[in-house]
Structure 1
Amino acid sequence: MSDAHKAEVDIAISCGIAQRETMELLAKQVGGPEYLGFISDDCKNYLRSKRANKMRLGDTGGVLQYSDDLITNIFWADAKMRSDYSHFGDVVCFDTTYRKPKDGRPIALFVGVNNHKQTTVFGAALLYDETAVTFSWLFDTFAATMLGKKPQTILTDQDKAMSKALAARWPETYHRLCVWHINQNAAIHLSNVFSQYKDFAKEFSSCIYDYEFEDEFIDAWDNMIETYGLQNNEWLKGLFQIKEKWALVYGRETFCADMCTTQRSESMNSVIKKYISYKNELVEFFEHFERLLNDR
């Protein structure tokens, strides 16, 4: 392949055009594939070599974890993300809602807000799974990348493996649960209650947001449970056991940068699909992710 052809391939791949479509485009430019001077395998080998070189050099700003010579997890944070985190990283939203379409692997985002209340990305990861071991690696890697600084407060989904890893790796970080997800889970586990009693949603919301004192919250919760006959509801029992992580009465003294949900990171997930193809390899995946950030 000539340098000119390599440059055209690089441009096409960076714009999200798959290798097969790139070859078809180049062939049309010269009047047919027989006039290209190289075949599809040459293009494939060039891209594979380029990816391997980038991974070795670390130009992507990524940190990789290997298992049996295969990449299992990759974390990404460029210089701007690290700088933003040093200034605005006291409160972090962590979310793994979005999945890479091709293989279902979770994309994890570390998100916060700057001094203008604008969403700021501190880092991202493509994970192999959502086990405590994987999350522990990610939290260790994030902290190491950020020169040891850990957030004062982190907002996450309700996930046992995530909670276990946070307790082990960042024990001094205040862990809050995403209220938005609490409400979504309530709608699933208590769907019959919501549909049968029109006032239940208001009372449940009040327990989350409205009370200034713990005894008021406890009284309101007990009254809600008794009023709607929910004494034996296992989901509510489990939720109450971790009330310090989601009821605002327990978190008013903690700085949260006016964030009580992970919707900032979820809003990022909604636009990721516009930039990242299910066909992307790891390097292209994070190159496209960087393009997303530059376009915001």
Structure 2
Amino acid sequence: MTRCDCKAKIVVHKNGSDRWEVKTFVEAHSHNLMSPSKVHCLRSHRHFTDSHKVVMDNMRKAGIGTAKVLNFFTNEAGGPEKMGFIDEDARNALKLQRHDKHGKSAQELLLYFQNKQRNDDNFTYAIQIDNECRLTSCFWADNISKIDYEAFGDVVCFDTTYKTNEFDMPFGPFVGVNHHKQSILFGAGLLFGETIEDFEWLFQSWLQAMGGKLPKAIITDQDPAIAAAIASVFPNTEHRLCMWHIVQKLPEKLGKVINENPSFNNDWRNCVYMCDEEAEFDALWDVNDTTE
């Protein structure tokens, strides 16, 4: 009614003999109706119940990721159209649960950061709060991280794959490699979400803690929000995609080619791992090209 002034309606009254009677029925709609395959997406047809919340909360406490929790609900119902809610409803409910628990944990985290800073003048932390003064994201880096970054910060890896904490918050470490080929930490953060704004805040906090020194290159997964934030905060830094994530996509993107060409995997790895120059890669790729 509020969007397109649709007059379609049905009015039912109960008469004195305990029978229901249709008083008014207007069939004509002023808009196209939702198809049966999409009707479950309508807000009026979605109900995320308290029992759903209890099951989801117990599964999350057991260490089951949000995606697997949603897959469970989908399989249990017999398909997404039979769940009674959509993924967004479940994720919003999870966010509200996280907000309810954040108060005490946020205070404990802040006290921890303050104690660390009292014992280490070079310890840096930053917190982000929402309009209701609730903590949403945080960042921290100690003196060792800053010293390591000064020496080995030309190339930085950033990833938010892991969400094993109680609040399902993406954990974003800034990682490098030292001269012994050991992984070293340049700082880390916990994010409430994975939007462009969330990543921009984290990158800016990290850059300020590192004295404004930009990395020459940063390696991430294929998240478009991360890519947009890098372009905004690190405009002069080379952005490259993580090889591990690329390899994970091979069966999905090139499954047919791999099945029809058993040698493709070896040929592909030779192109990727045995070439130091772009021209060398192109030449070897052309020799082993079996995608046509």
TM-score (norm 2): 0.55
Query: Given the alignment of the two structures, is residue 111 of structure 1 paired with residue 209 of structure 2, yes or no?
Result: no
How many pairs are equivalent?
A: 184
- Note if contact 2:124-2:209 (Cα within 8 Å) is conserved in structure 1: no
Q: Which of 128, 133, 149 is 1:65 aligned to?
A: 128
Match of 1:171 in 2: 235
In structure 2, give the amino acid aligned to 1:130.
E
Alpha-carbon deviation of 1:212?
5.2
Residues 144 and 179 of structure 1: is their aligned pair in 2 closer, same or farther, counting only changes over 3 Å? same
Distance 1:71 1:224, change over 3 A: farther
Q: Percent same amino acid among aligned pairs?
A: 39
Q: 1:132 to 1:50 in 2, by over 3 A?
A: closer
2:202 equivalent in structure 1: 138
| Deviates further, 106-115 or 53-62 | 53-62
Q: What is the CA RMSD across the aligned residues, in angstroms?
A: 2.8
- Equivalent of residue 156 in structure 1, options 220, 243, 247: 220
Structure (1 or 2) with the greater strand fraction: 2
Offset of residue 120 of structure 1:
0.8
| Matching of residues 138-287 of structure 1 within 5 Å | 138-211=202-275, 214-218=278-282, 220-221=284-285, 227-229=290-292
For residue 152 of structure 1, report the CA deviation from its aligned partner.
1.2
Q: How far is the alpha carbon of 1:122 from its aligned partner? A: 0.8
Q: Which runs of 5 or more residues in structure 1 are unaligned?
A: 1-44, 230-296
User: Matches of 2:188 and 2:152 in 1, distance apart?
Assistant: 16
Cα deviation, residue 58, structure 1: 7.1
- Counterpart amino acid of residue 209 in structure 1: Y
- Determine which structure has the larger helix proportion and give its number: 1
Pairwise CA distance, 1:88 = 1.6
Please report how far the alpha carbon of residue 133 of structure 1 lies from its aligned counterpart in structure 2 after TM superposition: 1.3
Q: Distance in 1 between matches of 2:104 and 2:195?
A: 35
Q: What stretches of structure 2 of length at least 5 have no aligned partner?
A: 1-102, 118-122
Bigger CA radius of gyration: 2
The residue aligned with 1:76 is 140
Displacement after TM superposition at 1:62 (Å): 2.2
Q: 1:223 and 1:98, CA in 2 relative to 1: closer, same or farther beyond 3 A? A: same
Structure 1 residue 77, shift from structure 2 partner = 0.6
Cα distance in structure 1, aligned partners of 2:137 and 2:278: 41
CA distance in 1: counterparts of 2:115 and 2:242, whole angstroms? 37
